[in-house]
Structure 1
Amino acid sequence: MANMDDSEIPLTDVLIEPSGRSAVRHSAIRREDVDGREIIDALAGRASVLGFADPYVAEAIRQVANGYLGDASALDCDGHDLAPLAEKIRSMLSSETEGVSAMAESVWIYPSAEDAMEAMIGGSRARGGGARYRTLSLVGSDHGRTAMCRSASGRPELHADFGPMLAGFDHVAANDIASLRSAVDESTAAVLLSPLDLCDAARPRDHDYLAAVRQLCDEHDLLLLIDESRLCIGSSGRLLTYTSISDIVADAVVVSGGLFGGLPGGLLLAGPRWTDSPVANTRLYPLQTAVATATLERVAELGWLEASGEDTSAFPVAVAETIAGFEFIRDLHATGTTVGIETDLAAIDLVQAAASVGLRIEAAGETSIKMQLPLGMDADDREELLARLTRTMSAMELITEN
């Protein structure tokens, strides 16, 4: 990662003083729990790719808050222009993969990731004029909690007890292009998938599979919709995770994690096949626009996407070395700073053991866990995270031996 000189504000030495408590050092992955205990949060990347307590994100929030007049202000103001954010996204994409910047021909901002997901799916249906309305997604997928997002998801537990799901969604086996091809008919509008399966050890989709899906969509004039709403923008060393796996170009992508400083929000990037509309400007969501813009500007200023290739590969290696001696570890999947660990143990037990030593991780299937870390970690953060991960695994080893 790029080094900061003395004139820059250090991202890992911000002191926050909660009411009634002494100052506690917050860093990219350190925070307090409700009892004031320091937590190493290995999911901090979902809040911000910059990490916790970033002063630039905080300043963006303050500036919007100082001028916020509520919904009535929309009657006589021009609102918050999305064009600078859209140009920043195009600029960052254009330096990565040839042609992928065209995917951000239009940019739409929403108050939540689910709202952005619904807009992406709805836009693919509208393109077909009502005749092509079916969306094909993958068995085991998780696309959110609204009625449409649950229907798009391929997990039975997200459907149970919610009554009939919305029509127009079918689910096919992951990494099986033959099954996907056989499910396409004249009513199919789009294929929806996430490049990482966060419900299965954060396992990335196969490069050849993504290329085959893109080819199938081209053959049948389908839209390829990518859901990165639960991934951390920039965490793979590329702005968008799927471009770090395959050089294909999606027709629309939803991003959210790591972009809004922990606030709700969703960004829909769409290419010319999804819409013929220009860049969308909005006055409805100035807070989300300001925070997303500040985040991307700071990432670009630090040069993290250009410099993060070595760092994002070094961290998973360190994790692998840390846990290699435990017999119940089965495999590790890493896409940048998103790391999934397969084990022989119940994920819920691993999560609880980690919590007992002040480490926050999350289940990624019945026997797997995941971490989604920001790019803005320093050496001390990484060392402490690995130490607490070791303590977690050692505790589980004792339990399994007894």
Structure 2
Amino acid sequence: MTNYLTPNFSFAPMIPERASGSRVWDTEGRELIDLSGGIAVNALGHSHPALIEALTEQAQKVWHISNLYTTQPAQDLARRLVENSFGDKVFFCNSGAEANEAALKLARKYGRDHFGAHKTEIVSCVNSFHGRTLFTVSVGGQPKYSQDYAPLPQGITHVPFNDIAALEAAVGEQTCAVIIEPVQGESGILPAEREYLEAARRLCDRHGALLVFDEVQTGIGHTGKLFAYEHYGVKPDIMSLAKALGCGFPIGAIVTTDKIAPTFGPGTHGSTFGGNPLACAVANRAFDIINTPETLNHVETQGRKLQTTLTGLCNKTGVFKQVRGMGLLLGAVMADAYENRAGEIFNAALKHGLMVLVAGPNVVRFAPSLLLNDEDLAEGMKRLEAAVNEWLAAA
């Protein structure tokens, strides 16, 4: 097939045509088990009937009305987010990158408005990932994503993840924000340590900086709680969301407090499609399904099963040396003998009808539907084991 798209993506050698639940069928009719979840997006699997119904109902009412007006779906979704989080106000956009862009702009403006022009520095973590805009790719701690786009925005400091001493040395009166992923996603599914997030909260309070949690990948149920910060008992000042929020329909958001929200006065920030009625209608229905004890308990149960099975595969094959993560957001770290070859496991799995992910060159990542059932989990692991054994035989 001729590819008419720019070459910044390396597409897999198959074209998905339809999907249901955790199963995908390509254009040749081959069935695959999906344990990738559209990179932690398809939180309710594919083609969930309740989401189709919500989208269809809203499509017959209004698609777009502009941000000169608010809509009931947007207000309803904002209310759900506020009532179930630390926050008081919500800003809607279209993606995780836009959510983080908004969070960082809000933090910079809050610092300037309340403390003066000197309070601009953003402290981020090495190997973090916060999006692909020029600002967010600069704040992200992976030079491979930013080095070709210099000159980059200034006033950004990167410190090692989970290193309290480095954080203490970096945060000062010049700091307007510290941004952290509670579980580093793209760099290898690395959970933050409780003491690290507690230190970040303490330092931000001491120096008048805002604590921003990037929950684009961890938010909306993937860790077994609605938001990952709930595992730690540490509340941020701003939280960014996207991915699972719309379960495949593009939407992003930031949640913040009444103390901070007024910084975004009329005209200070915006988004043409932010709060789109179609996206919010889908997200409302998805939220109501995910934010139940049944779904969140299911995530914890299935996450333990997946982690146990992957650990067994570690012991049996020696390909992986560690399984880490939370809930149904897990990473299998390649053993030293197979370091940086996670991409080969991705390809081997696809040959065996299994869709997984990588997180950097050394971690195979799993972010399946939060409704993953026992049958699909077992079949997926069966296919992974067959793929790993075939790959080992040829390695």
Match for residue 289 of structure 2? 298
AA of the residue aligned to 2:391? M
AA of the residue aligned to 1:366? P
Q: 1:217 aligns with which of 198, 201, 204?
A: 204
Alignment of 1:11-26 (within 5 A): 26=19
Match for residue 255 of structure 1? 241
Q: Hey, what's the Cα distance between the residues in 2 that align with 1:190 and 1:232?
A: 20
Shift of residue 131 of structure 1? Answer: 3.2
The verdict on how the C-alpha distance between 1:285 and 1:306 changes in structure 2, with shifts beyond 3 A counting, is same
2:319 aligned with 1:328 = yes
Q: Hey, what's the Cα distance between the residues in 1 that align with 2:277 and 2:79?
A: 17
Q: Hey, what's the Cα distance between the residues in 2 that align with 1:78 and 1:140?
A: 38
Q: Hey, what's the Cα distance between the residues in 2 that align with 1:119 and 1:307?
A: 33
Q: Hey, what's the Cα distance between the residues in 2 that align with 1:284 and 1:300?
A: 20
Partner of 2:365, secondary structure, is: strand
AA of the residue aligned to 1:185? G
Q: Is the 8 A contact 1:143 1:149 kept in 2?
A: yes
Q: Hey, what's the Cα distance between the residues in 1 that align with 2:27 and 2:211?
A: 42
The verdict on how the C-alpha distance between 1:183 and 1:310 changes in structure 2, with shifts beyond 3 A counting, is same
2:71 aligned with 1:79 = yes
Q: Is the 8 A contact 2:221 2:291 kept in 1?
A: no
TM-score by length of 1: 0.83
Deviations 1:330-354 (A, max 9, x none): 1110300011001132111111111
Unaligned runs of 5+ in 1: 1-23, 94-100
2:383 aligned with 1:388 = yes
Shift of residue 165 of structure 1? Answer: 0.8
Deviations 1:283-305 (A, max 9, x none): 85112211111101122457312
Partner of 1:311, secondary structure, is: helix
Q: Hey, what's the Cα distance between the residues in 1 that align with 2:379 and 2:63?
A: 43
Q: Hey, what's the Cα distance between the residues in 2 that align with 1:295 and 1:61?
A: 11
Partner of 1:263, secondary structure, is: coil
Shift of residue 253 of structure 1? Answer: 0.7
Q: Hey, what's the Cα distance between the residues in 2 that align with 1:222 and 1:254?
A: 17
- Could you list the structure 1 runs, at least 4 aligned residues long, displaced by more than 4 angstroms after superposition: 280-284
2:16 aligned with 1:29 = no
Q: Hey, what's the Cα distance between the residues in 1 that align with 2:293 and 2:47?
A: 16
AA of the residue aligned to 1:327? G
Q: Hey, what's the Cα distance between the residues in 1 that align with 2:89 and 2:165?
A: 32
Q: Hey, what's the Cα distance between the residues in 2 that align with 1:126 and 1:28?
A: 43
Match for residue 3 of structure 2? none
Alignment of 1:235-274 (within 5 A): 235-244=222-231, 246-274=232-260
Q: Is the 8 A contact 1:323 1:393 kept in 2?
A: no
Match for residue 35 of structure 2? 42
Q: 2:394 aligns with which of 380, 388, 399?
A: 399
Shift of residue 268 of structure 1? Answer: 0.9
Q: Hey, what's the Cα distance between the residues in 2 that align with 1:27 and 1:309?
A: 22
Shift of residue 277 of structure 1? Answer: 7.6
Q: Is the 8 A contact 1:333 1:341 kept in 2?
A: yes
Q: Hey, what's the Cα distance between the residues in 1 that align with 2:314 and 2:387?
A: 10
Q: Is the 8 A contact 1:49 1:232 kept in 2?
A: no
Q: Hey, what's the Cα distance between the residues in 1 that align with 2:389 and 2:143?
A: 34
Match for residue 351 of structure 1? 346
Match for residue 147 of structure 2? 160
Q: 1:147 aligns with which of 124, 134, 139?
A: 134
AA of the residue aligned to 2:23? R
Q: Hey, what's the Cα distance between the residues in 2 that align with 1:283 and 1:203?
A: 30
Partner of 2:250, secondary structure, is: coil
Q: Is the 8 A contact 2:183 2:325 kept in 1?
A: no
AA of the residue aligned to 1:342? V
Match for residue 135 of structure 1? 122
Unaligned runs of 5+ in 2: 1-16
TM-score by length of 2: 0.85
Q: Is the 8 A contact 2:82 2:90 kept in 1?
A: no
Q: Hey, what's the Cα distance between the residues in 2 that align with 1:186 and 1:112?
A: 31
Deviations 1:38-77 (A, max 9, x none): 1212111623321111011111211222223655x777x6
